[in-house]
Structure 1
Amino acid sequence: MYWCFATINNRLAEIFFKKGKTDSIKIFGHAYVNKSEYISKKEQKWIAEDTRKLKFSYRKGNYLPTSPSSAPPQ
Structure 2
Amino acid sequence: MSMIQYTSDRKLTEAGSAKFFVKNNGDTTLERQGSLTDREVRKIRAFIKEHYKEMYLKWIEIADTGYYGEK
TM-score by length of 2: 0.38
Which has the larger strand fraction?
1
Q: Considering Cα pairs closer than 8 Å and 6+ residues apart, tell me whether 1 or 2 has the greater RCO.
A: 2
Which has the larger helix fraction?
2
